[in-house]
Each structure stands twice: as C-alpha cells, then as structure tokens.
Amino acid sequence: MFSELVLNAKKYIQNLLAPLEGQWFYFHNLWHTLDVFQRVNYLIKKENVNDDLGELLQLAALFHDSGCVVSYIWHERYSFEQLKSFLKTVDIYYPEDRIDIIRNIIYCTEVWQEPTNILEKIIKDADLDNLGRDDFFEKTDNLKKETYIIQWIDYSLLQWHEKTLNLLEHTKYYTKTQISERRDNLKNNIILLKKEIKKLKNL
C-alpha cells in the first residue's frame, strides 16, 4: 500500500515526464523512474524498512531524475527542487527534517556518491539495478543515444564501451538483497562487455 502523498507524487511525475517520451530522454525517462520506484519498493520489503522510512525512499525514487527536465548536468540538485515544488501543491505540512532526508537520498543517486545509511544504499542499488540485469546492453545503448541527443557527445562504440566498463568495474551493490540477486550478473556483464571491447579493437 502507498500513502496518499506517494500516489499523488506518482501522478505528478507521470504528468511531468510522460510528455517527454520519445523526444530526448531515452534513458532518464518515466520508464526508468518507474523501474527504480518498483525496485525500491521491492528492496524496502526485502530489507525490512518500515513504512515511515519507506515513504521517504518512495518519494526520492519518484523524483530522483525529475531535474533532467531543467538541466541534464547536476540534475540531482534540480530533482530536489522538483520535489519541493510538488510539496507546495499538496495540502499537508511535510516536516523539514524528512525533506532533508529525501534530499540526501536523491543526491546519493549521483553516480560516484557513496551511500551512508540503509536508505541511501537502497536508492543506490535500485538506480544501478540495470547494470546487473540481462537488459543491461539495451539500457546502455539508450543512454548512449541520449548522451548524443542532449549533450552532443558522439562517442564511438569502443569509447562508449570503455567508459561503461569503467562504471561497471567501480559499481558496488550495498544491500544484502541486491548483492545476492544482482552481483553475479553484474560480473557477467563485465565479462561480456570486455569481449565486445576486444572484438572492436580487433576490427
């Protein structure tokens, strides 16, 4: 069950991100947001996080990439601003200390940011979940396309694979659930990516 606030936040995000589908955001889009939201909810249950703290994670998951509609660079900062804008639209008081926690959870989705507590560990694992899944190559291809369209950076396939390999080799999962369910597949994706790099270098 979701709180009324979380349900309203989900509608808010859908209205914000849905119009952008198929335009520029081939990775950081509504489907990625809902994917992370789903994984967060799964990890909340598996890691025995209570409903009160779970709500903070749910809100952070829904808003964590929403700042991309404002700025692609450092979008986590703008994502927090989007959360604050949403809270102004609802007729409830939300404590500042809870807002501060959500801010830290959102900021932790910045790719090289290290988590410091279980909430940040869960959002980190959920956001990087695709790196340890079978659809990894599809997702990274979408991100490459998005990078070109939005940032005008035209990486060759070899450059992109090498850049992605660096990310995978420095990716760490933190929760017991994520380690158990995704770490082996993450390692396998590293092996597969190295094979692709070797092929490209031998062309």
Could you tell me if residue 115 is left (phi over 0), alpha (psi between -120 and 50 degrees) or otherwise beta?
beta
pLDDT(194) > 90: yes
CA distance 100 to 7: 20
Q: What secondary structure letter does DSSP report for 92?
A: S
Segment 9-32, tens digit of pLDDT: 999 999 999 887 767 889 999 999
pLDDT at 91: 83
pLDDT per position as a tens digit, 136-192: 999 999 999 999 999 899 999 999 999 999 999 999 999 999 999 999 999 999 999
Residues 6+ positions from 90 with CB-CB distance below 8 Å:
5, 8
Measured CA to CA, the distance from residue 102 to residue 68 in angstroms comes to: 17
Among residues 191, 137, 138, 140, the alpha carbon closest in space to that of 169 is found at 191
